[in-house]
């Protein structure tokens, strides 16, 4: 009996041990993640707050081996945040080989792998790039512009069976530009609503605002797409105040626009009528990755109404010409005199009083193309803030360009005449309409000279060969010089133009 018990029980014991071994086999290690957001600016949309993801947010995760290829096919795996943890659509298995983790937000089904000849990545890795499309077009996403994040490439994340949990530190890839808009004190008692704000370039240049591009999640580099003169519109519905600003936020691609001026158009409404402020200049348009840029903007409906009160004449040309000079009270009035780039009158017009130099023509501080004349910035066209026509009259009023003067001279008839006791030229377009340009002379030092004999009107172009001079049109009863240059400190007349 004892012998039977031993032999009969032994097979049973062996069978139980095999079952136990099967159940305690170690599971294949899988990847788990948590996230942090390195906040250098506020978010635009879509997340819980500036430093946390919201339930339902989705990110893309890829694993890259040392050959630069997808590790075990783990490429652009979607993870969804449930409010407490990240859940992958399918578990991601790991082995003993170390692999590099890449991540980005928001998840995109469009995902591309390729190479780039100049894109830098850490030396221990090869150079294939993994990139996703970026689209910051308003209304391309249900709640406005989409913000984008990327795992910080400077904080390399390596995972394996010995390190199955990864803490992903996300950083912004887009700059954020904020405009804080108030109405002027002169409009304090006016009920003014703001409707929309448009961010755009003043002129097409090839280096412009764009809304689509690519994010290389390997390096964190974000690349602009082909610029096509895009503009970004934000719709705002609210009342303007003189103190509490209305905020307009824009996500933009990293850009350095240089001399390619970036401007705002702001649409307001009052008593059922719409008013648009065109080409509000923005200072300092070099926007770097992940940074925040904030600009205060004050709009004056009273000034805008004044701008629209100025009369113009259609001469059959590409622009409309004002009927009188800046500072004039009638078409034949001389008006005020301004140094080039200045927006106020003064009693002494000389280098020692000129705004953009330190006392001499060899010490220029703005609009300079040669180091022998001062600080070089290579700006050759007046910015809106230095355009007296725009600053005094507002709206779309500006000083004439070389092209504006060229067609005024070439396509119109010029007749020397007298109007209300002031001599000058009657300029008649092909359609029979005309303007009068009085020979207002010029100011040099404290003197006013050549009144009723010579007329000089500033243009917006610098003389790049000698940046102490700027372009103007200059005339006498016997001739008209379409282009001539004068010392920038001289006080000349200004006749505004406006685009139709």
Give the pLDDT band of residue 445 (cuts 50, 70, 90).
Answer: very high
Measure Cα distances from 212 to 120, 138, 436, 459 in Å: 22, 11, 48, 36
Structural domains counted in the chain: 3
Domain co-membership, 181 together with 291: yes
Last residue in a domain, options 259, 288, 307: 307
pLDDT in tens, 130-161: 889 999 988 655 457 889 999 988 888 999 99
How many Å separate Cα 365 from the centre of its chain?
25
pLDDT, mean of residues 257-262: 72
Judged by phi (left if over 0) then psi (alpha if -120 to 50, else beta), residue 335 lies in left
pLDDT in tens, 350-400: 999 999 999 999 999 999 999 999 999 999 999 989 999 999 988 789 999
pLDDT in tens, 268-287: 888 888 877 767 878 767 89
Dist CA 468 CA 372 (whole Å):
11
Domain co-membership, 303 together with 325: no
What is residue 160's predicted lDDT score, i.e. its pLDDT?
92
Domain co-membership, 323 together with 471: yes
Q: DSSP for 80-94?
A: EE-SSSEEESS--B-
Q: Which residue has the tokens 């005199």?
A: 337
CB 457 within 8 A of CB 473: yes
Residue 221, domain CATH: 2.60.40
CB 171 within 8 A of CB 155: no
The reply to whether 2 falls in a domain is no
Measure Cα distances from 250 to 24, 47, 199, 475 in Å: 56, 16, 8, 47
Expressed as residue numbers, the domain containing 227 is 176-307
- What secondary structure letter does DSSP report for 206? S
pLDDT in tens, 90-138: 999 998 888 999 999 999 999 987 654 444 444 433 445 688 999 998 8
Q: Which of 110-119, 279-288, 467-476, 484-493 has the lowest mean pLDDT?
A: 110-119
The reply to whether 6 falls in a domain is no
Domain co-membership, 195 together with 300: yes
What are residue 343's DSSP bridge partners? Answer: none
Q: Phi first, then psi: what are they for 10, rounded to 5°?
A: -60, -45
Dist CA 455 CA 220 (whole Å):
58
Measure Cα distances from 71 to 77, 95, 97 in Å: 12, 10, 10
Give the pLDDT band of residue 16 (cuts 50, 70, 90).
Answer: very low
Domain co-membership, 211 together with 129: no
What is residue 344's predicted lDDT score, i.e. its pLDDT?
97
The reply to whether 472 falls in a domain is yes
Last residue in a domain, options 172, 202, 228: 172
Dist CA 127 CA 115 (whole Å):
6
**For residue 463, what are the contacts with CB-CB under 8 A and spacing of at least 6?**
469, 470, 471, 485
Mean pLDDT of the chain: 86
Burial 364-375 (b: 16+ CB within 10 A, else e): bebbbbeeebbe
């Amino acid at each position: 009996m004892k012998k039977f018990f031993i032999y009969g029980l032994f097979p049973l014991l062996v069978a139980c041990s095999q079952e136990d071994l099967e159940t305690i086999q170690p599971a294949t290690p899988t990847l788990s993640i948590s996230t942090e957001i390195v906040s250098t600016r506020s978010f635009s949309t879509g997340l819980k707050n500036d430093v946390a993801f919201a339930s339902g947010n989705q990110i893309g995760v890829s694993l890259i081996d040392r050959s630069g290829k997808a590790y075990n096919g783990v490429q652009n795996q979607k993870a969804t945040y449930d409010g407490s943890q990240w859940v992958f659509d399918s578990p991601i298995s790991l082995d003993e080989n170390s692999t590099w983790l890449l991540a980005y937000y928001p998840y995109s089904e469009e995902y591309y792998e390729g190479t780039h000849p100049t894109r830098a990545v850490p030396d221990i890795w090869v150079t294939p790039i993994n990139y996703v499309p970026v689209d910051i077009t308003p209304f391309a996403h249900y709640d406005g512009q989409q913000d984008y994040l990327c795992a910080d490439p400077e904080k390399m994340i390596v995972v394996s069976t010995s390190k199955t949990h990864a803490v992903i530190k996300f950083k912004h890839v887009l700059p954020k530009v904020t405009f804080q808009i108030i109405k002027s004190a002169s409009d304090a008692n006016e009920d003014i609503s703001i409707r929309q704000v448009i961010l755009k370039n003043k002129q097409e240049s090839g280096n412009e605002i764009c809304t689509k591009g690519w994010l290389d999640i390997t390096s964190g580099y974000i690349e602009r797409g082909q610029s096509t003169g895009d503009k970004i519109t934000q719709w705002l519905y609210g009342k303007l105040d003189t103190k509490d600003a209305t905020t307009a936020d824009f996500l933009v691609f990293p850009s350095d626009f240089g001399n390619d001026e970036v401007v705002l158009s702001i649409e307001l409404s009052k008593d059922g009528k719409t008013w648009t402020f065109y080409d509000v200049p923005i200072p300092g348009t070099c926007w770097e990755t992940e940074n925040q840029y904030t600009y205060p903007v004050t709009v004056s409906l009273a000034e805008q109404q004044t701008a629209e009160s100025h009369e113009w004449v259609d001469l059959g040309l590409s622009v409309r010409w004002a009927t009188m000079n800046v500072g004039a009270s009638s078409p034949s009035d001389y008006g005020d005199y301004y140094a080039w780039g200045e927006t106020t009158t003064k009693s002494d017009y000389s280098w020692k009083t000129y705004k953009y130099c330190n006392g001499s023509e060899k010490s220029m501080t703005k609009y300079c193309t040669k180091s022998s004349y001062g600080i070089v910035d290579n700006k050759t066209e007046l910015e809106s803030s230095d355009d007296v026509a725009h600053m005094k009259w507002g709206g779309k009023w500006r000083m004439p360009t070389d092209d504006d003067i060229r067609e005024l001279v070439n396509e119109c008839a010029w007749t020397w005449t007298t109007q209300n006791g002031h001599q000058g030229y009657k300029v008649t377009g092909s359609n029979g309409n005309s303007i009068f340009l009085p020979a207002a002379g010029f100011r040099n030092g404290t003197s006013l000279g050549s009144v009723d004999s010579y007329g000089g009107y500033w243009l917006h172009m610098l003389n790049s060969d000698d940046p102490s001079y700027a372009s103007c049109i200059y005339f006498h009863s016997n001739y008209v010089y379409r282009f001539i240059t004068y010392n920038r400190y001289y006080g000349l007349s200004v006749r505004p133009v406006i685009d139709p």
